[in-house]
Structure 1
Amino acid sequence: MDILPTLLDLLLVVFLIFMNGFFVAAEFCCVKIRPSRLETLIAEGVSRAKYAKQLTDHLDSSLSVTQLGITLASLGLGWVGEPAIAVLILPATQHMGLPDEVGHTVALAIAFTLITSLHIVLGELTPKSMAIANVERILLAISFPMVLFGRVMRPFVWVLNTVANHISRKLGYEAKGENEDAHTEEEIRLLMKESYRQGLINSTEADFVDKVFSFTELNAREIMVPRTDMICLYLDDSPAERIKTIIEEQQTRYPVCYEDKDHIIGFIHVKDLLPPLMRGERLNLRRYIRKALIVPESMDGSILLRTMQEQGSQLAIVVDEYGGTAGMVTVEDIIEQIVGDIRDEFDVERESVEWRGLDICSIDAKLLLEEVDDLLGVCIVDEDVDSIGGWLYDQLGEAPRVGQMAAHAGALLYVEEVDGIRITRVLVRLSHTMLVVQELPAAHGGK
């Protein structure tokens, strides 16, 4: 047996296993790395990040290059490795007294098993694990040689991709473009939940993203302060009555009405009234009325926010399909849909959800049905009403009285507080089955 050729073949085997691992690591790194992280590294002046960015920007081509490299290395390993190992094993089979044909077959079988094991363990599994554990560091290390190899092999890769895409189209499958692998809204929600579960983001960040998506599904009617809760100033009121309302309610802006809330002529900002009041002048409300933005109750929340930003308006009047006032909405109301309640030193409102035990809670009647489902697991679907108070009113079929009750899906809903004929608070008693399904204590603390 000639030692030098055998030694060279063994060195070539080691090299091919290394190259196979190189391309496997490159493949996993290209898929796992976050493009935003590469942009950050480029901004920090890491030169190798530019080459890595070239790989991720042309992911289809990069993966084709890695597959070509893996295939060439694997074929070369089988071509060179098996004979090289078999030559080392043949003397042992001859020493055992096996016939040449049998000994050759045994040597090839052992060589095949050994090469396959080395290929899988050192050429596939180990580099894959290393790449997943050290994506950034490994990608930066291999990006430049990968770019060079890709440029050399570009003609071959183009031919192979063209043939593969042609065959795919013949089979009825259209190849996806490089920018078509985007995530849907539901996928992003799942990614955020998984990131929170693994401790990569906190609960506030996860909740924030979830509310951003939920906000796009809301309309002005679901965001607004309802007509019955609007605090207005009336032209027919005396100056003393207006000042009393402003002092008691402690709001910044008030709609101004003529006769009733269906005749809103604008709104006033309290700061505009301070100078004349400080000077002791008689308050002429009409002089300080600002034009109010009028929007339909069906307007999407995202469009409503953009419209208010473009108009520079902090307050909008929401009208129904008949032109009557349905309610009003402020920028703060919209922002609260995303970040939660924003309270200042004048806010004395109760919590939207007040727990009074493991299975009993008091909720604001203005909570949307979807919010009640999210918070309590009480799923109510009704196209005719939006709020839990409206649903309970509809179930009673008469002017509500404290203590009246309606049942739904194992939950008991009671009228807890009323204001005239309007339900303001609802008491909810949950069934034992619903408590088992939910982790209710985690929800304690309200909206």
Structure 2
Amino acid sequence: MDSPMLLSLLVVALLIFLTAFFVAAEFSIVKVRGARLDQLVLEGNKKAVSAKKVIENIDDSLSASQFGITLSALGLGWIGADQIETYIHTLVEQLNISPSLVTFLSFLIAFLLIAFVHVVIGELVPKTLAVHEAEKLTLLVARPLYVFTKIFYPFIRALNSMARITLRLFGVQTTAQETAHSEEELKIIMTESFRSGEINENELAYVQNIFSFDERIAKDAMVPRMNMVTIDEEDTIEEIIAVVEEHQYTRYPVTRDGDRDDVLGFVNAKQLFTAQLSKNDAPFESFIHQLPLVTEFTPLQEAMVKMQNAQTMMCLVIDEYGGTAGLLTIEDILEEIVGEIRDEFDRDEQAEITEVAPKHYRLSGLVLTQELEERFGIEIEDDVDTVGGFVLSQKANARTGERFLLPGDHELIVSEVDNHRIVFVDLILASHEEEEPLSE
């Protein structure tokens, strides 16, 4: 092979490489995650700094990639096809066929060969590689692409302007590229990340809980009035010690004459007992702290801010009539995001949802009907908030062992009743239904 032919083949190889480079650049900068580049920049990765500049000006970067692809493809068609055809013509002539057939076969073989190399090596291979190794390729191509964009910036700018003018002629208005994701898009991204193993089930559950946090209200997380543990302003220190010993809480609402609709505030048991040990004779009223008020329909986020501003760990939830509906604590709010929080004093406390056997669950009567739908796909249309409320709506004097049918042929069995309060029920899932996995 003579030197001119070798040089031509080297030029062809260079043009194919440039095509592959620009194709890889185009797909990798679209696929790469901006948040990951931000992390690499903070870690001091110099290549990531260039990559960040490319991503921040992605319109110009994509135009530069297209410009480079077009130039290299035109060069490959102009120089490559002609040189390859000349070389193949020499080989085909040795077949002793007619000159016209030699010309046709040389052109056809050269065309097919160039097309194959251009499509496979120049387009498909770098595209596939860029999609699967977006971060590595972005870091590799960012600096050269940035320099190329700067060199040919006037041409790229002019081409972009002409493209926008053409779009306007057809009534298409161009706007700045939208880089933010909606809540639904983020949910889809997180679900796909979980399926691919990038995040675990707990992390997915936390994110889903955070998204639903804004929709939660105080009524969803509060301790109901019937379950509130209170002390009375007239209780003796011995009676208060007995209550604290039994329940092991730190803070207790204080009532007047045992009336939960007349809550004076709350006391901190540690503060009260410390004063007793130090022989502090301050009156009991001086240990009562003001308790912030929220309504049943106050968003949890607003209730949390109210507690933070008041520097307290709890607030009183009132109903539409001004009576006490329940008690809301910071722990209750956190459990809406991270799930149930149990400490050393909760070891005897039964979880709200416990799997007893396959398709058999023990549920607290306080489990929300919304949670029943989210975890098991069982939708209760009655205007009630809790499982216990559903049972009482079906039968006000429900007793242990009574059964109630749910949509989908699922069944609730009352397992524990305290006076008229449904403490626990058993959920039996229909055998023909596949239960949804619990999101702890």
- Which position in structure 1 is the counterpart of 2:301? 302
Which structure 2 residues correspond to residues 366-381 of structure 1 after superposition, within 5 A? 366-381=366-381
- 1:349 paired residue number: 349
Query: In the aligned structure 1, how far is the partner of 2:367 from the partner of 2:168?
Result: 51
When normalised by structure 2's length, the TM-score is 0.92
Question: 2:221 aligned to 220, 223, 231, which one?
Answer: 223
CA distance in 2, matches of 1:118, 1:191: 36
Residues 354-411 of structure 1 show CA distances to partners (whole Å, capped at 9, x for unaligned) of: 22221222101111112112333322244x3221111221122x22222222212211
Q: Deviations over 1:129-170 (max 9, x none)?
A: 333444333322322211111012222222222232343344
Residue ranges of structure 2 left out of the alignment (5+ in a row):
none
Give the gaps of 5 or more residues in structure 1: none
User: Secondary structure at 1:77's aligned position in 2?
Assistant: helix
> 1:226 is matched by which residue type in structure 2?
P
Count of equivalent residues = 437
Structure-to-structure mapping, 1:395-406, within 5 angstroms: 395-396=394-395, 398-406=396-404
SS in structure 1 at match of 2:70? helix
Partner of 1:126: 125
Letter in 2 for 1:438: E
Cα distance in 2 for residues equivalent to 1:314 and 1:301:
13
Query: Which residue in 1 is equivalent to 2:112?
Result: 113
Summarize the alignment of residues 389-400 of structure 1 with structure 2, pairs less than 5 Å apart.
389-396=388-395, 398-400=396-398
**Residues 218-264 of structure 1, C-alpha deviations (whole Å, 9 max, x = no match):** 11110111111111122244444333222222211111122411221
1:438 and 2:435 matched: yes
* Structure 2 CA distance for aligned equivalents of residues 46 and 359 of structure 1: 52
What's the secondary structure of 1:321's corresponding residue?
coil
Does residue 9 of the first structure (1) align with residue 42 of the second (2)? no
Q: How far apart are the structure 1 equivalents of 2:154 and 2:321?
A: 67
Corresponding residue for 2:33?
A: 34
Q: How is 1:142-221 mapped onto 2 (pairs within 5 angstroms)?
A: 142-178=141-177, 180-221=178-219
Instruction: Give the % identical residues.
Output: 37
Distance 1:133 1:360, change over 3 A: closer
Change (3 A) 1:395 1:163: farther
Q: Is the 8 A contact 1:369 1:381 kept in 2?
A: no
Give me the CA root mean square deviation. Answer: 2.3
Taking the aligned partners of 1:313 and 1:275, their CA distance within structure 2 comes to: 19
| Aligned counterparts of 1:18 and 1:262: Cα–Cα separation in 2 | 79
**Structure-2 separation of matches of 1:63 and 1:301:** 44
Question: For residues 309 and 108 of structure 1, what CA distance do their matches in structure 2 show?
Answer: 79
Q: Report if the CA contact (8 A) 1:401-1:415 is conserved.
A: yes
Task: Tell me if structure 2 keeps the 8 A contact 1:30–1:56.
Answer: yes
3-state secondary structure, aligned to 1:346 = helix
**TM-score if structure 1 supplies the norm length?**
0.90
Does the CA-based 8 Å contact 2:291-2:315 persist in structure 1?
yes
2-structure distance, mates of 1:188, 1:374: 19
1:287 equivalent in structure 2: 286
Query: Is the aligned partner of 1:47 residue 2:80?
Result: no
Q: Determine if contact 2:20/2:122 at 8 Å carries over to the other structure.
A: yes
